[in-house]
Amino acid sequence: MADDSHRPERPRLEPEIIPPARGRRDSGWQYDVWQPYMSTGGTHRLYVGRLGPFGLAVLMLLIGIVVAVLVLAVVGAILIWIPILALLLAAGVIFRIWRR
């Protein structure tokens, strides 16, 4: 045990402080990590318009299609298990009768 238990433990390793690269020539990295996300020229504007009746109908249609596919997947999984459970039940009944 330490003599002074109220004193915080010092870190075993000091953190390495890496200065920012001044350019590609100064950095030791193969490529700049942020380069694919950075634009080469100034500011860009993003315009977002309101949804009209047609856009809202298309959005609702897409949401309905996604929900229908998910429901069909769940129902399909349930329908696959029904015959398997029926076969297991029948095998159990047959084994019980055969054992007597």
Each residue's pLDDT, cut to its tens digit, for the chain (100 residues) gives 556 677 877 777 877 777 776 555 544 555 556 566 565 666 677 888 888 999 999 999 999 999 999 999 999 999 999 999 999 999 999 999 988 7
Cα–Cα distance measured from residue 30 to residue 28, given in angstroms and rounded to the nearest whole number: 7
Q: How far is CA 52 from CA 29, 55, 62, in A?
A: 48, 5, 15
Give the model's pLDDT for residue 85.
92
Q: Check residue 25 and report its DSSP letter.
A: T
Provide the pLDDT for residue 61.
Answer: 97
